[in-house]
Amino acid sequence: MNVLGISGSPRPNGNTAQAVQHALEIVRAYDIETTYISLAGKEITACDGCLSCHLGKCRWTDDMNEIYEAMLRCDGMILGSPVYMGQVSGALKMMMDRTVMFRTASKFELSGKVGAGIACGDFRNGGQELTLQGMHTFFLQHDMQVISDGPGYSHSGAAVVGLFAPDQIGKRMVENLARRMAKALQG
């Protein structure tokens, strides 16, 4: 079993990175292997819709190769994004778009994997829910199973407000989300 955590922030040690890595720590306590990838500094070319992936291969060679491999290898995926203008970060969206090659020509290579989202914004109602929905839609388009943070709060996934470290509610949501991920994988 492997859970892949991806931080979609351009800041390598920011709130999203901390939240995703905290989730992975919890997952590891269930004896599940984890892989962490930060998009900070990654070279990811924007999908230009050439559809060469329909012929079997994306034509760009860049840092997506490592991410493709990690996505295929994982059983569960935790995506984290800072809220940018009320939605997912550009870095995460570029990455999500480039995965269209996993769902072409009737093959859904990520089908059945479990997905969960973490959104970090500065403000209450800053767009965390829409950001989470953006990630959930990505999972659904890959025919993945989506989980939220579950009880005690059980809303739309883990929403962090302000700095991650002092946000006790956000931290509990991240922990609940990670526990649910582990339990979903272990049955």
Ligand X SMILES: Cc1cc2nc3c(=O)[nH]c(=O)nc-3n(C[C@H](O)[C@H](O)[C@H](O)COP(=O)(O)O)c2cc1C
In terms of CB distance, is 41 or 49 closer to ligand X? 41
Output 67 or 119, the one with its CB closest to ligand X: 119
Residue 17, SS3? helix
Write out the binding residues for ligand X, residues 9-68 only, by CB under 6 A.
Answer: 9, 11, 14-17
C-beta of 105: minimal distance to ligand X in Å? 35
Residues sharing a CB contact under 8 Å with residue 134, sequence separation 6 or more, in sequence order? 81, 87, 88, 93
Between residues 9 and 21, which has the closer beta carbon with respect to ligand X?
Answer: 9
102 binds ligand X, rule: CB under 6 A: no
Residue among 123, 140, 154, 183 that touches ligand X (CB under 6 A): 123
Q: Which two tokens stand for residue 46?
A: 């924007």
Choice from 60, 67, 71, 82 touching ligand X (CB under 6 A): 82
* CA gap 145, 187 in Å, rounded: 14
Q: Using the rule CB under 6 A, is 121 a contact of ligand X? A: yes
d(CA 60, CA 84): 26
Toward ligand X, which CB reaches closer, 110 or 117?
A: 117
Which CB, 39 or 53, lies closer to ligand X?
Answer: 39
Phi, psi torsion values for 146, nearest 5 degrees: -105, 135
Q: Give, as one character, the DSSP assignment of residue 92.
A: H
Chosen residue from 127, 134, 157, 170 binding ligand X by CB under 6 A: 127
The DSSP bridge partners found for residue 37 are 6
Contact by Cβ (8 Å): 98, 165: no
List interacting residues with ligand X (CB under 6 A): 9, 11, 14-17, 82-86, 120-123, 126-127
